[in-house]
Amino acid sequence: MGEYKKPKTAEEFEQNFSQIKPLMDASMAYYESSRCLFCYDAPCVTACPTGIDIPLFIRQINNKNTKGAAKTIYDSNYFGNACGKVCPTEVLCEGACVYNHRDAKPIEIGRLQSYATQDAMQKEITLYQPAPANGKKVAIIGAGPAGIACACELSLLGYEVHIFEAKSQPSGLTLYGVAPYKITNEEILQEVEYLQNQFGFKICFNERVDSEKLVELEKNYQAIFLGIGLGKTRFPFPMEKEMPNVIGATEIIEQLKVNHLTTNLGDQVIVIGGGNTAMDAASEAARLGAKHVTLAYRRSKEEMGAYEFEYDLAKAVGVQGVFNAQPLEIIGTDQAEAVRFVRTELVDGNVRPIEGSEFTIACDAVIFATGQSKQVDFLNKIKDLELDDKGKIKVKEASFQTTNPMYFAGGDAVNGGAEVVNAAADGKQAALGIHDFLIA
Amino acid sequence: MPDLSVNFAGIKAPNPFWLASAPPTNSGYQIMKAFDAGWGGAVWKTLGVPVVNVSSRYASVNYKGNRMIGLNNIELITDRPLKDNLREMEEVKKYFPDHAVIASLMVESKAQWHQIVKDVENAGADGIELNFGCPHGMCERGMGSAVGQEPSVLKTIVEWVMEVAKVPVIVKLTPNISDITYPAQAAKEGGADAISLINTIQSLVGVDIDNFVPYPIVDGKSTNGGYCGPAVKPIALNMTKNCAQIPNYDLPISGIGGIETWRDAVEFMLLGASTVQICTAVMHYGFGIIRDLVPGLESYMIDKGFNTIDEMVGKALPNTKTWENLNLKYKVTASIDESKCIGCQLCYTACEDGAHQAIGLKGDEENRIPFIIDENCVGCNLCSLVCPVEECITMVQTDDGKSHNTWKERTEANEIPNDFNDERAGGNGHWIPEPKDALKKKR
């Protein structure tokens, strides 16, 4: 029997998906911030992809300058609130905290960060005043963390910025992909609104950019930033026909994030994959009330790409891992009824199926968390834009400029799929690259 | 088992842990409860002239996660009727004949002093403590610290009291004075049997920066209070030592000021106190801390082979010297235990910015353990003080332990540096980076 019952009301959903990093109150923030040692050349800062001056903002929280703390955070990372909640802090800032070296609990940096940013958002504190308009326009494709961070920085510098977003809501996978127990949609939208109010950039929703639109953008804007992220789930073998209960992880998580109560997976769910998305999908299936969730990965547990704490989260809600199991086919006519696997072994670093070791697991739904495809078709429409052999956009290291000089890019489309914080860092850095390019 | 009982200038008690005259000794109820919990004595909240108290009386100093490391109060002496206090005192003594009940007193005229001394003796008080220390409110009326700051006045009042007192008389001294040995001497000259110190230190613990008024706030206004709690212990320890080292001074000392643990109590005793009085710690944690104080002291005494409290009193005094008698040849150098270091680099930045630039970094992200530059280390201890890991940085003796030379000896031998550029001055030859090197450093 699973840990959770299928949620039928908004309250039940909230219970099943309660925040794993809930907002601290002032007292808790005070005591937690008191523990910070204020390390010299602090390792937490080095570990942060956006290089937030963490000891400084913690000190500011401690001496009740919460507004100053929020400014310190946003100066380095425009997704300060979201990152406090969704960053894998266990392997970044908190993982680098020196307290770990004496087996003491590291400072809860993520929660302190969100404490400061939430305070600023709730009080609607204006931290930034954009420079006077410089008459230049930049278009951004994709309103994910890379695009929004880029828009914030450019607006601050005086650019007119328009973001074109195919979906109806902003912040990309932060909203459509991050597990609901890490952050709520309301909180994500609250931060985007907070940023928009200060920086004034515009987002055009439901606006999928095609060849025709590209021409228009190239004509009307001096530079274009590509923050397009990745595409649909890439299945490990071709599907002969579509089955309603064989789903990509990205797609089902998106559905769950948008429609909390109508997403139904059934009692027996198989999740295929070994990355963080697989862990999220498995956890979410369990929290949606599935009685048995099997996580199947074709290599060993140790070889999983997922962070240890993400697997721990999945295990904690009853997910069962099956390792060295490679999916061969989906059994079923109109619906998937089972998945047939074969056991694998590692030979010279390569995964080899073990002959005669086939087995099947019955299921009501199969979720493939086997990676997302690149948006190669779209990218090929841009003249002179070079991609690497994996379909990632090639950019210059410091400026994020692509091989087509008016295009810049950052986030998942460049790094192949990383964290929100990496995208936010890229977007801000690319804005500075664009600024250099346009004023040069 | 060691004997914890004390005979303090004739006042007997089962142990040296007494409650100081303060809010925890405001009533017979509280004192009975404390004795029942195991406290050895109590100095009753000061009885005396009638007062009216304000509302909002305390304010505290909190440091990082710690509450009330310092406490400030503007409460006055007891505002309860004298007859109630006397009746309760009598009752407490009936139930606890072997515990020390000391009446703290503060009145103005000679006649008042004579009367109140008799009153509390009739109620069964084992001793009297004269409150010459209160630094707020009462001093504005010519009492409390106003007396303690005038040794001749103090002496006169002690003499008045001694004219009638049949029980031992303790004089409680104020620290709000440049040299506490003067009132300590005056107390002796007036005929007192013992002294106790310190009373609270005149203070403002903070200011409400939104409303421009210090704490605690009474209807938008404030006034200075008396400061106590763990933060004042170092001042109290030094004053205790100062009194204990007065030549030929034989009055017993009751130590007061920031005592919270048995360890604090031992420190006061080693510097000359033979009983200790506690207030703030009880106001913070209640009478229950006695459960830690008594066994802690007992265990320490067993470890050190002390059978009685008297055996340990003043043990640290021979080792407490004037600066000119310290050995200038003694040398320690910091040493980092790499197995304990967590790489916070607080020692580096403390030494680099706050001391002698004697700690270096390897500049390696993987190995953040700093190293000591021995030739620059003056042995100041700062790194070991800021290090958050117990016993990670220790100070290791590096001289041969054979040479001894003090400033006093050098002065007598005419070997002290005489002018500003004398080569015999201490810092000469010590390596200091060039000023402009500062601009190359990472902030």
What confidence score (pLDDT) does residue B443 get? 59
What confidence score (pLDDT) does residue B442 get? 63
Distance from CA of A149 to the nearest CA of B (A): 27
Interface probe with A: pick from B64, B337, B341, B383, most Cβ of A within 10 Å: B64
B346: chain A residues, CB-CB within 8 Å: 37-40
- Is A41–B345 a contact, with Cβ atoms under 8 angstroms apart? yes
Q: Considering only CB atoms, which residues of chain B are within 8 Å of chain A?
A: 64-66, 340-346, 348-349, 361, 365, 368, 388-389, 442
What confidence score (pLDDT) does residue A325 get? 97
Cβ A256 vs Cβ A289: under 8 Å: no
Interface probe with B: pick from A38, A98, A103, A112, most Cβ of B within 10 Å: A98
What confidence score (pLDDT) does residue A2 get? 67
Can you tell me the distance from the alpha carbon of B58 to that of B206, in angstroms, rounded to the nearest whole number?
12
The dotted CATH code for B323-440 is 3.30.70.20
Q: Is residue B418 over pLDDT 90? A: no
The helix/strand/coil state of A118 is helix
The helix/strand/coil state of B16 is coil
Interface probe with B: pick from A41, A54, A105, most Cβ of B within 10 Å: A41
Residues B16-28 pLDDT 10s: 999 999 999 999 9
Distances A60 to A30, A68, A94, B300 between C-alpha atoms, Å: 10, 6, 18, 42
- Is A62–B365 a contact, with Cβ atoms under 8 angstroms apart? no
From the list A34, A38, A101, the residue facing B65 with the nearest CB is A34
What confidence score (pLDDT) does residue B207 get? 98
Can you tell me the distance from the alpha carbon of A313 to that of A360, in angstroms, rounded to the nearest whole number?
26
Can you tell me the distance from the alpha carbon of B107 to that of B49, in angstroms, rounded to the nearest whole number?
5
What confidence score (pLDDT) does residue B428 get? 67
Specify whether the backbone of B154 is left (phi greater than 0), alpha (psi in -120 to 50) or beta: alpha
Task: Name the token pair of A55.
Answer: 């000891």
Question: Mean pLDDT in each 10-residue stretch from start to end of chain A (440 residues)?
Answer: 84 94 97 97 97 98 97 98 97 97 95 98 98 97 98 98 97 94 96 98 97 97 98 88 92 92 91 96 95 96 96 95 96 94 94 96 96 95 96 97 98 96 98 94
Nearest CA in chain A to B344: A39
Cβ B300 vs Cβ B264: under 8 Å: no
- Is B65–A30 a contact, with Cβ atoms under 8 angstroms apart? yes
- Is B343–A101 a contact, with Cβ atoms under 8 angstroms apart? yes
Task: Name the token pair of B17.
Answer: 């842990």
Distance from CA of A397 to the nearest CA of B (A): 22
- Is A98–B342 a contact, with Cβ atoms under 8 angstroms apart? yes
**Using 50, 70 and 90 to split pLDDT, how confident is the model at B424?**
confident
Q: Which helix (H) or strand (E) holds A401?
A: none
**Using 50, 70 and 90 to split pLDDT, how confident is the model at B364?**
confident
Q: What is the mean pLDDT of chain B?
A: 96
From the list B368, B389, B442, the residue facing A43 with the nearest CB is B368
Overall residue count recorded for chain A in this entry:
440
Distance from CA of B204 to the nearest CA of A (A): 19
Interface probe with B: pick from A31, A36, A40, most Cβ of B within 10 Å: A40
What confidence score (pLDDT) does residue B422 get? 85
Q: Which residues of A319-349 are buried (b: 16+ CB within 10 A; e: fewer)?
A: bebbbbbbbbebeeeeebbbbebbbbeeeee
Nearest CA in chain B to A99: B342
Nearest CA in chain B to A35: B65
Which are the catalytic amino acids of B?
134
- Is A40–B346 a contact, with Cβ atoms under 8 angstroms apart? yes
Can you tell me the distance from the alpha carbon of B256 to that of B279, in angstroms, rounded to the nearest whole number?
9
- Is A37–B388 a contact, with Cβ atoms under 8 angstroms apart? yes
Residues B213-227 pLDDT 10s: 999 999 999 999 999
Q: Is residue B14 over pLDDT 60? A: yes
Within 10 angstroms of residue B394's Cβ, the number of other Cβ atoms is 14
What confidence score (pLDDT) does residue B429 get? 66
Q: How many Cβ pairs closer than 8 A exist between chain A and B?
A: 38
Question: Which residues are registered as beta bridge partners of B101?
Answer: B42
Class of domain B6-319: alpha beta
What confidence score (pLDDT) does residue B256 get? 98
Q: Considering only CB atoms, which residues of chain A are within 8 Å of chain B?
A: 30-31, 34-35, 37-41, 43, 46, 62, 98-99, 101-102
B342: chain A residues, CB-CB within 8 Å: 98-99, 101-102
Domains and CATH numbers, chain A: 19-122 (1.10.1060.10), 137-231+373-439 (3.50.50.60), 246-368 (3.50.50.60)
Would you tell me the crossing angle of helices A249-258 and A276-287 to the nearest 10 degrees? 40
Can you tell me the distance from the alpha carbon of A270 to that of A73, in angstroms, rounded to the nearest whole number?
40
Q: Is residue B423 over pLDDT 90? A: no
What confidence score (pLDDT) does residue B181 get? 98
Distance from CA of A346 to the nearest CA of B (A): 32
From the list B346, B348, B389, the residue facing A102 with the nearest CB is B389
Q: Is B317 exposed, middle or buried (0-12, 13-18, 19+ CB in 10 A)?
A: middle
- Is A34–B343 a contact, with Cβ atoms under 8 angstroms apart? no
Nearest CA in chain A to B365: A43
Q: Where are the beta strands (DSSP E) in A194-324?
A: 202-204, 223-226, 246-248, 268-272, 292-296, 320-322
Domain boundaries, chain B: 6-319, 323-440
Distance from CA of B228 to the nearest CA of A (A): 23
Nearest CA in chain A to B390: A102
Cβ A304 vs Cβ A332: under 8 Å: no
**Percent of chain A that is helix, strand, coil (3-state, to 5):** 40, 15, 45
What mean pLDDT is predicted for residues B120-139?
94
Can you tell me the distance from the alpha carbon of B24 to that of B75, in angstroms, rounded to the nearest whole number?
13
The residue whose two tokens read 């970094």 is B361
- Is the peptide bond between B198 and the residue preceding it cis, with omega within 30 degrees of 0? yes
Residues B214-265 pLDDT 10s: 999 999 999 999 999 999 999 999 999 999 999 999 999 999 999 999 999 9
- Is B442–A101 a contact, with Cβ atoms under 8 angstroms apart? no
Q: Which residues of A291-302 are buried (b: 16+ CB within 10 A; e: fewer)?
A: bbbbbbbbbeee
ipTM: 0.90
What confidence score (pLDDT) does residue B372 get? 97
- Is B344–A102 a contact, with Cβ atoms under 8 angstroms apart? no
Q: Is residue B343 over pLDDT 90? A: yes
B64: chain A residues, CB-CB within 8 Å: 34, 62
Interface probe with B: pick from A30, A39, A59, most Cβ of B within 10 Å: A39
A223-226/A246-248 β-pairing? unpaired
- Is A40–B65 a contact, with Cβ atoms under 8 angstroms apart? no
